[in-house]
Amino acid sequence: MKKILVPTDFSVTAQDAFLYAQQFTDLIEDASITVAHVFMPPLESDYPNMFPPVTELMAVREKMLERFIDEYQHLVLGSVATSIKVEKELLIGFPADEIAQASKDYDLIIMGMTGENDIIDKVLGSVSISVAKRAECPVMLIPKSSSFKGLRHMLYASNYESADEDMIEKLIDFNKPFNACVHFVHVDEKREGDYDITKTGIFEELFEEGEPCFAFEMVEVESDDVSTGLLAYAEDYPIDLMVIVNHKKHNFWEKLFHKSQTKQLAQKSSMPLMVFHLDS
């Protein structure tokens, strides 16, 4: 993952995400960051179909973006701030739409879990959740006040579709710079189903090209819902990142990110969430 996009709305959460992204990217050889700001020019109240001069607005926003990058590059400890190539991009439009469109040109998006309003009850409708569902590349959502402390343990939510061989390959590639221990966690909501099939598929994919270079374990937990089960497991282990698969044709994402469960994840976990996408 060489090209990393970091959207910003200049909020505190966006600041934390940018700092996290720099420290994360410092561990990836030849990686670069593009910090992007998307804005929609306000309509003139007296003339609702007219926009004010866009050139002037862009100049103001570009200065804000430059200040944001300059200020929060220098807060990173050590040599990270000078060793990472950071570029900027200014876009006009609806943030979720523009970021999702831009994702085609990047390997990873790192962004704050909530936006400038920072209201937990509105997370489901926020830009971050919309981008995570629609992006063409993986998306890492960073909760407010999270800091990068390395990736030693990752939780991979392995509920059926997550065992897809393409997803496991993506996980293996992503983990190469870190060699984190991967916890494959299956949540059994109804106390039924055959997890052994899923577990066998994951195991075979991990060993397809020989023994994997990282440690792993496979666990099945019982819970009334997916998010509660994942959070309960994460609380018992030093999990640094939760990895989730968004299958656009199945309902795992909708079950996981039902409004009440999203609120629970955001309130109770300071753990970043990473979303892979499976289209087929």
**3-7, 164-168, 189-193, 223-227: range with lowest mean pLDDT:** 189-193
What pLDDT score was predicted for residue 194?
A: 63
Could you report the per-residue pLDDT of 182-229, keeping only the tens digit for each? 999 988 766 555 666 677 778 888 888 788 888 999 888 888 877 788
At residue 120, the pLDDT reads 38
The reported pLDDT for the residue numbered 37 is 95
pLDDT tens figures, 141-150: 998 878 888 9
Q: How far apart are CA 203 and CA 261, in angstroms?
A: 29
Which domains are present in the chain?
Answer: 3-142 (3.40.50.620), 153-278 (3.40.50.620)
Displacement of CA 218 from its chain's centroid (Å): 23
CB contact at 8 A, 7 and 111? yes
51 DSSP assignment: P
Q: Which of 80, 76, 99 is nearest to 8 (CA)?
A: 99
Judged by average pLDDT, the poorest of 35-44, 76-85, 126-135, 222-231 is: 76-85
pLDDT of residue 145: 79
User: What is the distance between the alpha carbons of residues 90 and 64, in angstroms, rounded to a whole number?
Assistant: 10
Q: What are phi and psi of 62, to 5 degrees?
A: -65, -40
Nearest one of 101, 96, 98 to 115, comparing CA atoms: 96
What is the average per-residue pLDDT within 137-163?
85
The whole-angstrom separation of Cα 130 and Cα 127 is 5
